[in-house]
Structure 1
Amino acid sequence: MNMILNTALKKLSAEQKFMISVIIVNGGNYLYNLILGRILGPEQFADAALLITFLLVLSFIAMTFQLSTAKFSVIFEDAIFKSFINIIYKYSSIIGIIFGVLLIIFSKQLQVLFNTQSSSMFTIFGIGVPIYFIMSVNRGVFQGGKKFDSLAITYQGEMLSRLVITLILIYTLSLQSSILVALGIAISFLFGLLPFRFRDIEITKKHELPSAESKYIIKFFLLTAFYEFTQIIINNSDILMVKHYFETYEAGLYASLALIGRVVYFVAWMFVMLLLPKVVQKQKDGESHAPILFKYVSYITLLSVSIVLGCYLFPELVINIMFGPEYLSVAPLLWKYAIATSLFAISNIFAYYFLSLDQYIPVVLSALLGVSQVVLIIFFHDTLSDVVIMQIIAMAILLLFQIFFFLSYQKLSKKSSTNN
């Protein structure tokens, strides 16, 4: 049996192994959330879900550094790459410290804003933030260099350590659950640093980049940061606003709904990881890159249809298996939420494709639709159903705009190639 397994693994490419790893990591993260949901119950899970949402927000901010590192790891070589990697580590550390300190300073205000049981959960989380930014740059190096084995290990280490450490803390310590969850998350960042690529890092030496390269990096970084900001709005504003507008019990129910419905989005991230370095390399080599987009969009579409159909046909079964009977009241909303996240996941593939090509318009579109989602929820939040429907409307419009822009971009590209 072991021989068969080893033979099968040897036949898999690094990319295929990474895809399997991401599925395992997503499964582990889901297991982590499901266990917390069952152990803590809706009210305490609301605080835990808020921390997980903060983690997602953090991941989007840090993703700016990861994607920038990945892109320029493909483009830059030798001395320029060495200077770049040292500079981005420096600035990621500074930004991480700033965000961490802000979380600690405003922990009391965050407690009031989100109706949490403790402010200490934000303080503990803030301490771990700088580590996460460093971890993201390290991952970006692996991603850009297509070192998918090492990249997979960093994600697996973070996921497994968070799951195991959090459960150990919950079952051995009698502190508030939100504090223990925050501790588990912060400690897991240390495990996510491994393996760490020390090569080319020179802390004591001053590094500079040529003016042209610096401008290119800043341009891409700001574009990516802006898009990641829209990701934060679209992907997390609903949970934060529900936590603000609704009672703790309802917020906990919605958190479980969001967790199940977002499975397609989390899987889509796997394709984003693979797409960016491939598209950048194809563009660098002057080759066609649209087929890469088509491949990943088709994968996500098939996955989305399957998940939405499953949620529509067996909502109560899914909720009961994953969270238990306490959460069954949100079962009718499950397939609708799955539609919203599916639309977002597909449009997200388009957006990152264009981000790889330094295109601005899709990013602006995402920002506008992200803001519109928030505005819609502000005005229509009488029930949890209203919140979900507003997201479907916003995400459907976003996907239509992305498709329209892609078709326009293809026409312009063909015209320019014909003229040349």
Structure 2
Amino acid sequence: MISIPKKRPYVLTQEQLFMVSALVVNAGNYLYNLILGRLLGPEQFSDAAVLITFLLVLSFVAMTFQLATAKFSVTLTKEVLPRFISNMHAYGILIGVLTGILTIVFANQLQALFHTSSSGMFTVFGIGIPLYFMMSVNRGVFQGKKQFKMLSVTYQLEMLSRLGITLGLIVLFDITSSLVIAIGILLSFGFGLIPFEFKKISFQGLGAMHVAEIKQIRAFFIITAFYELTQIIINNSDILLVKHYFDAWDAGLYASLALIGRIVYFIAWMFVMLLLPTVVQLRKEGKATAPILFKYIGYIGCVALVIIGVSAVFPEIAIQLLFGEQYLEIAPLLWKYALATGLFAIANIFAYYYLSLDTYVPVIISGIFGMLQMGLVIFFHDSLAQVVHMQIAAMVLLLITQVAFFFLDTHKK
């Protein structure tokens, strides 16, 4: 009798699992924003958009700790690594506490600056900031060790808890206050800490680590912090400036435009999570790193083209399906905002790629053009259309400069 070998079922790798998980997380976060936009309407949604933008700003600041932890979890020896992670947790908590205190102390000034209905939402948000820094260092450990299953769990729990708690409070108690949204965000940080690799948190020195390694960590941390600052400026300054310069209705319309147009950036984010440890590992093994860069640029470029095309051909349908008729007047700007975001997402891949290789010129380039974008919006904001046009101009110049640097650097090597 001839035995026929059984076909083994296909099992997802950890990287593939993380990609699927990242899509689910982005979809969940997107759903969270869409439901808030529909339930609150443009004026109240403008307040929610400020809190969501603060959350994105916090995620970029804390990403400095996550990326540094991820990178050096790959390169450091097993003897030094536990103490390094301990230090990262300790300094993350310290920075988180100081940032949280400042947010709470200046809550009234933040309310006046962004014309929100409550200062309490900033106070509640400030309480949760230290938890977010702990969560980011924990994620950096999983990312560096390529434990993408554990990394996926932390993102899933944060997203699901924020979605469930916030919408549960709004629906059950019929409360649409921005304070409820802040409470949902705060509690989601606690869930995002699961699973947490708690071993030891201390400010002890790095012991057996060489001076050169300590300098490398310090340099990477400083330049990454600078780069994440540029991310904050490019990604979020437009929403905060529009909230400052325009009335609540227009600010709410712009927040919905930004949310739809940023789909491409949210998708690009999951590729960046895979890019850094992969490039570091390839470099460590002496292998070519450029092919992985081209691979991810191709993926993101295709996604950007599809989203821009859909936004150009079906803008009214997209906005009506996602937010409702109240937001339809923003439809003509949808494809333009998607174009600006797509250009930035591709330029961003170059910066993260070089950051992984300890080359920091593209990071400085991003900083320069981030400041240019903010300056253009500050000086040219007669209409929402003009705000979007200024961003397109800045992002076109940024992408051209990053591509030019890549070819010059490649030619030189």
Normalising by the residue count of structure 2, what TM-score does the alignment of the two structures yield? 0.96
2:368 corresponds in structure 1 to: 368
SS of residue paired to 1:272: helix
Question: Which is further off, 303-312 or 174-183?
Answer: 174-183
| Within-5 A mapping of 1:69-148 | 69-148=69-148
Contact 1:21-1:152 at 8 Å conserved across structures:
yes
- The one-letter code of the counterpart of 2:269 is W
Instruction: Could you tell me which runs of 5 or more consecutive residues in structure 2 were left unpaired when the two chains were aligned.
Output: 1-7
Select 2:200's aligned residue among 184, 199, 202.
202
CA offset at residue 262 of structure 1? Answer: 0.2
2:395 corresponds in structure 1 to: 395
Question: Which is further off, 108-117 or 359-368?
Answer: 359-368
- The one-letter code of the counterpart of 1:202 is K
| Within-5 A mapping of 1:166-245 | 166-173=166-173, 177-198=177-198, 201-203=199-201, 206-209=204-207, 210=209, 211-245=211-245
1:337 corresponds in structure 2 to: 337
- The one-letter code of the counterpart of 2:260 is I
1:26 corresponds in structure 2 to: 26
Distance change >3 Å, CA 375–CA 282, structure 1 → 2: same
CA offset at residue 207 of structure 1? Answer: 4.0
2:5 corresponds in structure 1 to: none
Distance change >3 Å, CA 176–CA 316, structure 1 → 2: closer
Contact 1:86-1:207 at 8 Å conserved across structures:
no
Distance change >3 Å, CA 205–CA 304, structure 1 → 2: closer
CA offset at residue 410 of structure 1? Answer: 1.1
Q: In the TM superposition, what whole-angstrom CA distance separates every residue of 1:106-151 from its partner, at most 9, and x where no partner exists?
A: 0000000000000000000000000000000000000010001110
2:289 is equivalent to residue 289 of structure 1: yes
| Within-5 A mapping of 1:255-266 | 255-266=255-266
Contact 1:369-1:394 at 8 Å conserved across structures:
yes
SS of residue paired to 1:11: coil
Distance change >3 Å, CA 363–CA 36, structure 1 → 2: same
The CA distance in 2 between the partners of 1:259 and 1:35, in whole Å, is 12
1:4 corresponds in structure 2 to: none
| Within-5 A mapping of 1:377-396 | 377-396=377-396
Structure 1 moving runs of 4+ over 6 Å = none
Q: In the TM superposition, what whole-angstrom CA distance separates every residue of 1:253-302 from its partner, at most 9, and x where no partner exists?
A: 00000000000001100000000000001111111000000000000000
Normalising by the residue count of structure 1, what TM-score does the alignment of the two structures yield? 0.94
- The one-letter code of the counterpart of 1:126 is G
Distance change >3 Å, CA 148–CA 123, structure 1 → 2: same
CA offset at residue 82 of structure 1? Answer: 1.1
> Aligned-pair RMSD on alpha carbons?
1.2
Contact 1:239-1:254 at 8 Å conserved across structures:
yes
1:418 corresponds in structure 2 to: none
The CA distance in 1 between the partners of 2:85 and 2:164, in whole Å, is 32
The CA distance in 1 between the partners of 2:316 and 2:338, in whole Å, is 14
The CA distance in 1 between the partners of 2:202 and 2:327, in whole Å, is 54
How many residue pairs match? The answer is: 404
2:154 corresponds in structure 1 to: 154
1:320 corresponds in structure 2 to: 320
What percent of counterpart residues are identical?
A: 60
The CA distance in 2 between the partners of 1:110 and 1:175, in whole Å, is 22
The CA distance in 2 between the partners of 1:236 and 1:217, in whole Å, is 27
Q: In the TM superposition, what whole-angstrom CA distance separates every residue of 1:81-120 from its partner, at most 9, and x where no partner exists?
A: 0111011111000000011010000000000000000000
Instruction: Could you tell me which runs of 5 or more consecutive residues in structure 1 were left unpaired when the two chains were aligned.
Output: 1-6, 414-420
Contact 2:86-2:202 at 8 Å conserved across structures:
no
The CA distance in 1 between the partners of 2:206 and 2:350, in whole Å, is 34
The CA distance in 1 between the partners of 2:217 and 2:175, in whole Å, is 45
CA offset at residue 174 of structure 1? Answer: 5.5
Distance change >3 Å, CA 214–CA 40, structure 1 → 2: same
CA offset at residue 14 of structure 1? Answer: 1.2
Q: In the TM superposition, what whole-angstrom CA distance separates every residue of 1:206-258 from its partner, at most 9, and x where no partner exists?
A: 34243222111100000100000000000001000000000000000000000
Distance change >3 Å, CA 404–CA 156, structure 1 → 2: same
The CA distance in 2 between the partners of 1:344 and 1:196, in whole Å, is 33
CA offset at residue 161 of structure 1? Answer: 0.3
